[in-house]
Structure 1
Amino acid sequence: MAEKQRIIPVNIEDQMKSAYIDYSMSVIVSRALPDVRDGLKPVHRRVLFGMNELGVSFRSSHKKSARIVGEVLGKYHPHGDSSVYDTMVRMAQDWSLRYPLVDGQGNFGSMDGDSPAAMRYTEARLERIADSLLGDLDKDTVDYQFNFDDTLKEPTVLPTKIPNLLVNGASGIAVGMATNMLPHNLNEVVDGIVATVDKPDISIDELMHYIKGPDFPTGGIIYGVDGVREAFETGRGRVVLRGRAEVVVDNDDRETIIISEIPYQVNKSVLVAKIAELANEGKVEGIRDVRDESDRDGLRIVIEIKRDALGSIVLSYLYKYTPLQTSYGVNNVCLVKGRPMTLNLKDQIEEFIEFRLEVIQRRTQFELNKALARAHILIGLLVALDYLDEVIALIRASANVDDARDGLMRGDFIDDKDAFWAKFRDLVEEAQTDELRVASGNVLSEAQAKAILEMRLQKLTGLELDKIRAEYAEIRELIDDLRDILDRPERQRDIVKEELLDVKTRFGDERRSEISLDTADISITDMIADDDVVVTISKLGYIKRTNVEEYRAQSRGGRGSRGSKTRDKDFVEHLFIASNHNYLLLFTDKGRCFWLRIYEIPEASKQSAGRVIRNIIAMPKDENVRAYISVEDLTDEEFLNSHSIIFATKRGIVKKTSLEAYSRPRTNGINAISINEGDELLEVRLTTGNSHVFLASRKGQAIHFEEEKVRQMGRNAAGVRGISLQGAEDEVVGMVTIDHEQDQDKTILVVSANGIGKRSNWDDYRITNRGGKGVRTMKVTDKTGELVALKAVNEEDDLMITNRSGIVIRTGIDSLRVMRRDTQGVRLINIEKGDSISDVAVVRNDGEVPEDAVGEEE
């Protein structure tokens, strides 16, 4: 052991604990956490202060970033240059800070995660808004501390007029704690602080009338206010943010997703790569292409959707599997008087108000002292000018400056001192403080004597004398005003409001992030409006949904408008109205059942052919959709158990099964009814147990029996006979069910292939036993053609009649009077030669049907 060297034994546990605490406190206080007063970490504060000291304000020209980094590094922040440069770069990025504090010139990075150019290539200066953080630094508004080598002093906090912690937020990881504070809108924050100044006991709920929630520099949509409210109330919470996206449709009915805003701190290139990866791996189906078309005018990501996919569905999956939807954990930890604390919204506002009051008090006191010092000098000048000849004589008689100064201080130029004090005592005492008080026995202070000696000869003119007196009068008013500010706390609070409102006027802007009040988790269904749509299914299996408004009402007997463009030998076979949120149970001619939400059906125009249904559901190639049921909810047990499904086949077989048996959707479908060889499923109806069943055949026969005559059967049963047909060529064309309690106003409509139809009261059809031949509903002739449709309608309904050629006409039921069952009917639509009616659908009347068409009775 070397001479005089000492080894002191210590407990390693105590030493480790002490060293770790010292390290953690250093990280917490001097690196990772922002100060509640100016919202800055030490490195941010040093960069701004260093740039201010270097003179690179918004009024000056840009300076090389390397020069600025060197200034900050050499004087205030003895760490790596990258830490200083990276800090300055982030404060210049308008996608990182809601209100950037540095004005960068050159390559300062991008939203794609591109690195900024080296500091020797870029230039920077302070933004105009930074002046509001650094203003009043020279007025003793904040405390200073020595820098790392005790050669210079730096501020411990900036005297900001802007609530920077709230408007720009902060994030950082310390030792044992972290902070993540989100940015907010300056206008809203200022309004909230002003409201708190006016009403100190304001509640969080009241504050939320002013401060709606975070406002991110990249915009986006905030979903739900519950997380925002929790963060405002406790300082901790969770905020869900989505990028702004829109699904647009071009002239070819091709959907495209346009993303114009992405969540805060999301790397754009990473987001685009993630979307492409999900598409390539098949995790998100329906994406045809992904392009980044962003430029200097704004962000634009284009996602082209395949024809057999829905843009809204693809978008929902992008929200689920990519950073296009991101959640932020709010953790409002900051330094309060040097100690880390978690603050809610009101705590942060109150701390800022307290700081601003302190700054205003210190600034006012500084300005008061400065004004008093100037008033003190002016009084000395006024005294000298009042005794001008005597003062000049004293100075000329003095051997040197010191003798002249001492003579002035003693008042040797005054013959009658009693008269002097009688004239000047009040004036002298008014502007005095402990520091400026004239020493006992003297007339003037040393400062006043020096000012007299340094006074220029031009001050001896009468005009200059008037200027000194006017300046003294102004400064006396200023002193009174400053003393009034210090004496009255209410004036200090008014100044806080005035300065904040001025900041709002100069730098405030509109909110960028939209806030959705929906507090629930967002599902695919939530994204889609629950509107009524027209669903059409063609003979060859093309399906689409169309806005019901596209189908304009037309008079009975008109020619109609062009509907779906179908392929050769194809025609629209099913057409019905449903809500977007409904479940669609599809039944094939082979007796299988498949499930589909209405919004999952591709949306297309009225003229579009639609998309192949096999690309939407896993239906076998040898099957075709024959019937459907639109159900509002498949999870309501009471509804499921109180409803049944009645099936009808072309060969007149009927079956009734509980709806509950079809309430568990499977991708590959289930067996709904066993179909006998040579038969096909025709119709499916939802009933409540109180219905009457009507079946009609091609030959014009119809049967009416009560639902209870058909017993409940299992899902795999084949059913029982509903109507007896007249020969092998005869078949059932339709089935309707009427609830005898709820459907009293409904009438039975039958339509023939050549456009003849009639409407009769349902009780005109006498009740018979199930399985009989029924009664005649229309006499089938060459003029009428065979029966093609049987429907239950009322006065408020419209008919949508579709020809095999694809022409669609809409007509009101109220224009077709009720007739007896045994009449022939009237013409509903003019049929071109070689054409015929393929389907008839019932639509709720929207009041737009013209009244100028009247059918002729056949």
Structure 2
Amino acid sequence: MQAEKFHDLPLEDVMGDRFARYSKYIIQDRALPDARDGLKPVQRRILYSMYVEGNVQDKPFRKSAKTVGNVIGNYHPHGDSSVYEAMVRLSQDWKVRNVLVEMHGNNGSIDGDPAAAMRYTEARLSAIASELLRDIDKQTVEFVPNFDDTSEEPVVLPAMFPSLLVNGSTGISAGYATEIPPHHLGEVIDAVIMRMDNSLCTVNDLLTVMKGPDFPTGGIIQGLEGIKKAYETGRGKIIIRGKAAIEHMRSGKQQIVVTEIPYEVNKANLVKKMDDLRIEKKLDGISEVRDETDRTGLRIVIELKKDANAEGILNYLYKNTELQIPYNFNMVAIHNRRPKLLSLPQILDAYIAHQKEVVTNRSQYELRKAQDRQHIVEGLMKALSILDEVIAAIRASKDKRDAKDNLIAKFAFTEAQAEAIVSLQLYRLTNTDITALQKEAEELNEKIKELLLILNSEKKLLQVIKTDLKRVKKTYADERRTLIEEEIEEIKIDMEVMIPQEDVIVTITKEGYMKRTSWRSHNASNGKDFGMKEGDRLLARLDINTTDTVLLFTNKGNYLYLPVYEMPDIRWKDLGQHVANIVSLEKDETMVAAVPVQNFEEDNRFLVFVTRNGMVKKTELKQYKVQRYSRALVAVNVKNGDEVVDVLLTDGNQELVLITHSAYALRFHEGEASAVGVRAAGVKGMNVKEDDYVVSGLTLQSADDFLILVTQRGGVKKMKVSEIELSSRAKRGHLIFKELKANPYRIVGVEIADDAYRMFVKLERRGAEELDIQSLKEKDRYSNGTLMIDVNEAGTVTEVWKVAKQEG
């Protein structure tokens, strides 16, 4: 017995080698199509296996399971489901432009329904699939042994039409992906002929005959520039939208009728998404969505309410559903056994080179056959001219072998001619047969001349390829299905038209629970029993319209863009939805402020951000309007552990006051901070001591406003704003409490006094408690506050906020 051998190899070398081999296999032999015949190995094996078994277009259908078994047993040693799924896809006329497999039975649907099991369906090759296999038995392509060396399979099919472009391809392998759209058969053949006539023709020239992709589901392509870029580089982006029309009904209402949808869009999901917009009241004006598709064709009806804006609703559906989708070309195929990103001219050149090879091989095969037959015909004609001597020689022979030897020796026949003579049937030994042989000899001469001309002349070779292509075009080309528009239409949606206008209440709590509540739900509870977790508090209550937007800011300098109409409608008594269900936030990220916005384009509207370290940033409100808002967006660049403490909405002409924990206050005009971009960090607003930090930033309407200042010791002080001198930014500011060396005052929160609000504080040991601010007397900045809370009993004050009186 042979001794075992052990190799001591680093794991990373072994893994790297094995993965490299696996990747090479996946790329070359599974996921990517060949640039010559446009097929992946499994597709090629399915078609070849059906051809070998005679399961072709002019024969009866056969069970799909039989074909799958033949493919697995002879050529493709993989799972039956992968083979059957590939076979089903070749039969789906909404996936491939020209089906290669005809199937009886349920082969799936555009709604995403799976095909019936292979034991229930029957299949055969389509007529056009036979064009991919035409002349394969004439040694046109290379054959290699199958996986167990019991038979042979083709490396590539002869492909009498450019299947890679006609049916497209999609696939993902290790490190490579491909996305090639289907095209119109006639246009692709015209492009191939143009390329053969002029090998220097440009993409612009090709676009005159090959307009762009032609999807089996029709639809409208927008973006000629994207098509051109894709044909030039292999990559490009276009927009595909469904074909929809607005119809007027007798009742005076309108309806939108969709008759074609974008390629590879699931119709059932599209209809459900449209209906969900109606159910969730994200889109006003739709009364019903119906799928009326039947055997006559696809038809989705969106019935509208009276006086609904049909054009606006259609635009909204284009923007927010798969009625319009982007399509990205990524034309990767196997070319010379390597994956390569190919331009349109390169794909056409690869196909033309393949056809030259196929036609050359076919011509050589037919030439050999013709020359062999010519040789036999010459022998038979010679034999008929000396028939009596030939018969006498055969009769004088002992057996067949002796007869052949005698013919070769006496009359100088070759082995092949002698074999043909001794195999000749007696009835053919008539005088009339010589004319048939002479006619055949002439035809063979002509054929040999023709074949030699093809093999010796590039021009004649190309002429033969063109003739074959024109025959395929004439036989199989149909009408173009997809319309191409040059420009990508910018969709403008007037949200006020789309959204049901309704006055609602939006509430956001400090812990991040938010909800939109109707006034009906609020009034049913008389504004009481507000749903909120114990220990949580209201951050904002906004009386707002569904057409408005809420900007929700966090301490980390991020913001959430929340159109009110998209918020879930939740009862006043219920808890609401947590922001973490909408976007992902960091663990220690908390809500700081909520700003309602009615119109982003309004002039002289700014957001001012105040940070813990005294930075101030001012930015135009309009810069916070966005189209995509599925994640948290950057509102201000917060650096080195700093965080946002306040966000203020201003008109650009207000005064700001910043107050620190150590009781310093600085008042300055907001004009000192220039407006900057969204991602900027801002400027130094206040020069804060190392052990101090800003607790609040406020906008002032008047110097006669009163500030209510609350300290950690339970002291509360009412002070006029004018006590703080108007200064400039980036200064330390003034002390606004009497300075004490032992147990100094530390400010926890500041609010502007307003009779319409009640003020609350949070205590360490007693929770929330209301302050009686009506009883407070005005004090100057050198005095201390009034002790309103016994902190020895309740614990220190940790938070301060105010609530409108009608909120209870």
* Contact residue 377 and residue 437 of structure 2 kept, 8 A: yes
How far is the alpha carbon of 1:476 from its aligned partner?
A: 1.1
Q: CA deviation at 1:282?
A: 2.1
Tell me if 1:484 matches 2:483. Answer: no
**Residue deviations 1:595-622, cap 9 Å, x none?**
x9xxxxxxxxxxxxxxxxxx9xxxxxxx
Counterpart of 1:35 in structure 2 is 34
State whether residues 131 and 159 of structure 2, in contact with CA within 8 Å, keep that contact through their aligned partners in structure 1: yes
C-alpha deviations, 1:614-663, integer Å up to 9, x for none?
x9xxxxxxxxxxxxxxxxxx9999xxxxxxxxxxxxxxxxxxxxxxxxxx
State the shift of 1:74 in Å.
1.1
Q: Does 1:445 align with 2:414?
A: yes
Structure 1 residue 41: deviation in Å?
Answer: 0.2
Residue 385 (structure 1) aligns with: 384
TM-score (norm 2): 0.61
User: What TM-score does the superposition give when structure 1 sets the normalisation length?
Assistant: 0.57
CA contact (8 A) 1:458 1:464 kept: no
Q: State the distance in 1 between where 2:116 and 2:129 align.
A: 23
Distance 1:635 1:491, change over 3 A: farther
1:273 paired residue number: 272
Match of 1:74 in 2: 73
CA distance in 2, matches of 1:257, 1:484: 61
Distance 1:510 1:495 in 2: 26
Instruction: Note the alpha carbon deviations across 1:807-846, whole angstroms, 9 max, x for none.
Output: xxxxxxxxxxxxxxxxxxxxxxxxxxxxxxxxxxxxxxxx
Moved over 3 A (4+): 519-525, 634-637
Shift of 1:304: 1.2
Cα gap change, 1:298/1:8 in structure 2, threshold over 3 Å: closer, same or farther? same
In the TM superposition, what is the alpha-carbon distance from 1:46 to its structure 2 partner? Answer: 0.6
**Does structure 1 residue 117 correspond to structure 2 residue 116?**
yes
- Distance in 1 (CA, whole Å) between partners of 2:51 and 2:251 is 58
Query: Residue deviations 1:76-126, cap 9 Å, x none?
Result: 111111111111111111101010011111111111111111111111111
Q: Deviations over 1:759-794 (max 9, x none)?
A: xxxxxxxxxxxxxxxxxxxxxxxxxxxxxxxxxxxx
Tell me the residue number matched to 1:468.
Answer: 437
| 1:146-178 deviation digits (Å, cap 9, x = unpaired) | 111010101111101111000100000000010
SS in 2 for 1:191: helix
Measure, in 2, the Cα distance between the counterparts of 1:212 and 1:359. 28
- Which shows bigger deviation, 380-389 or 342-351? 380-389
Structure 2 SS opposite 1:523 = coil
Q: CA deviation at 1:492?
A: 0.7
**Pairwise CA distance, 1:455:** 1.0
1:249, 1:396 → 2: CA distance?
A: 94
Letter in 2 for 1:402: R
Aligned length: 506
Task: State the alpha-carbon separation in 2 of the partners of residues 5 and 194 from structure 1.
Answer: 61
Aligned equivalents of 1:368, 1:337: Cα separation in 2: 28
Matches within 5 A, 1:199-210: 199-210=198-209
Q: Conserved in 1, the CA contact under 8 Å of 2:56 and 2:126?
A: yes
Residue type at the aligned position of 1:372: Q
Equivalent in the alignment of 2:149: 150
> Counterparts in 2 of 1:460-609, with a 5 A limit?
460-519=429-488, 521-524=490-493
1:735-760: CA deviation from partner (whole Å, max 9, x where unpaired): xxxxxxxxxxxxxxxxxxxxxxxxxx
Displacement after TM superposition at 1:253 (Å): 2.0
Conserved 8 A contact 1:459-1:465: no
Partner of 1:456: 425
- For residues 463-512 of structure 1, the C-alpha deviation after alignment (integer angstroms, 9 at most, x for no partner) is 01211121111111111111111111101111111111111111111111
In structure 2, what is the equivalent of residue 399 of structure 1?
398
Q: Which residue of 2 aligns with 1:23?
A: 22
Amino acid at match of 1:75: N
Based on CA coordinates, which of the two structures has the bigger radius of gyration?
Answer: 1
Give the unaligned 5+ runs of structure 2. 498-544, 548-564, 566-599, 604-624, 626-808
Q: Equivalents in 2 of 1:224, 1:265: separation in Å?
A: 19
Structure 1: segments with no counterpart, 5+ residues: 414-442, 529-593, 597-614, 616-633, 638-664, 666-858
Match of 1:342 in 2: 341
Tell me, yes or no, if the aligned pair for 1:112 and 1:269 is still in contact at 8 Å: yes
Inter-partner Cα distance in structure 1 for 2:330 and 2:414: 58
CA contact (8 A) 1:35 1:334 kept: yes
Instruction: Point out the more displaced range, 383-392 or 126-135.
Output: 383-392
Tell me how far 1:524 sits from its aligned partner.
4.6
Alignment partners' CA distance in 2, 1:349 and 1:522: 36
Note the C-alpha offset of 1:11: 2.5
Kindly provide the amino acid, as one letter, of the partner of residue 162 in structure 1: F
2:242 pairs with 1:243? yes
Aligned mates of 1:161, 1:636 — CA distance in 2: 64
Aligned to 2:736: none
Q: Structure 1 461/294 Cα, relative in aligned 2: closer, same or farther at 3 Å?
A: same
What is the DSSP-based 3-state SS (H/G/I as helix, E as strand, rest coil) of the residue aligned with 1:462?
coil
Q: CA separation in 1, counterparts of 2:349 and 2:299? A: 41
What percent of counterpart residues are identical? Answer: 46
Give matches, 1:799-814, under 5 Å: none
Q: How does 1:599-638 map to 2 (within 5 A)?
A: none
Instruction: Supply the distance in 2 between the matched residues of 1:28 and 1:333 (Cα, whole angstroms).
Output: 11
State the distance in 1 between where 2:4 and 2:156 align.
43
Alpha-carbon distance in 1 for matches of 2:296, 2:30: 36
Residue aligning to 1:649: none
Provide the rounded CA distance (Å) in 2 between the counterparts of 1:499 and 1:354.
15
Task: Tell me if structure 1 keeps the 8 A contact 2:246–2:255.
Answer: yes
8 A Cα contact 1:108 1:115, kept in partner = yes
Q: Deviations over 1:170-223 (max 9, x none)?
A: 000000010000001111111111111111110100100111111100000111
Aligned to 2:558: none
Tell me how far apart the structure 1 counterparts of residues 488 and 94 of structure 2 sit (CA, whole Å).
Answer: 27
Q: Which amino acid aligns with 1:183?
A: P
Matched residue type, 2:460: R
Task: Please say if residues 88 and 115 of structure 2, whose CA atoms lie closer than 8 Å, have aligned partners that are also in contact.
Answer: yes
Quote the Cα distance in structure 2 between the aligned partners of 1:339 and 1:110: 35
**Aligned match of 1:180:** 179
Q: Cα offset for 1:308?
A: 4.1
Paired residue type of 2:142: D
- Alpha-carbon distance between aligned partners in 1 of 2:400 and 2:128, rounded to the nearest angstrom: 49
- Contact in 1 for aligned 2:253/2:307 (Cα 8 Å): no
The answer (yes or no) to whether the contact 1:226–1:519 under 8 Å persists in 2 is no
The separation in 1 between residues aligned to 2:283 and 2:336, in whole angstroms, is 51
Distance 1:287 1:348 in 2: 46
Cα distance in 1 between the residues matched to 2:352 and 2:426: 49
Q: CA deviation at 1:3?
A: 8.1
SS of aligned partner of 2:480: coil
Whether the aligned pair in 2 keeps the contact of 1:64 and 1:122 (CA below 8 Å) is: yes
Structure 1 residues 323 and 379, CA, compared in 2 at 3 Å: closer, same or farther?
Answer: same
Deviations, residues 555-603 of structure 1 (Å, cap 9, x unaligned): xxxxxxxxxxxxxxxxxxxxxxxxxxxxxxxxxxxxxxx9x9xxxxxxx
Contact 1:272–1:292 under 8 Å retained in 2: yes
Asked if the contact 2:315–2:491 (Cα under 8 Å) also holds between the matched residues in 1, the reply is no
CA deviation map 1:391-428 (0-9, x unaligned): 12221222222222112122x24xxxxxxxxxxxxxxx
CA distance in 1 between counterparts of 2:32 and 2:442 reads 48
The letter of the residue matching 2:92 is: Q
CA contact (8 A) 2:100 2:125 kept: yes
Residue-by-residue CA offset, 1:378-397 (whole Å, 9 max, x unaligned): 11112212222221222122
Whether 1:315 and 2:314 are equivalent positions in the alignment is yes
Which residue of the partner structure matches residue 295 of structure 2?
296
1:575-724 to structure 2, matched below 5 A, reads none
Q: What secondary structure sits across from 1:257 in the alignment?
A: strand
SS at match of 1:518: coil
| Structure 1 position 519, deviation (Å) | 3.7
Counterpart of 2:211? 212
Give the secondary-structure state (helix, strand or coil) at the position aligned to 2:432: helix
CA contact (8 A) 1:255 1:310 kept: no
Q: Match of 2:425, as an amino acid?
A: R
Alignment match, 1:657? none
SS of match in other structure, 1:92? coil
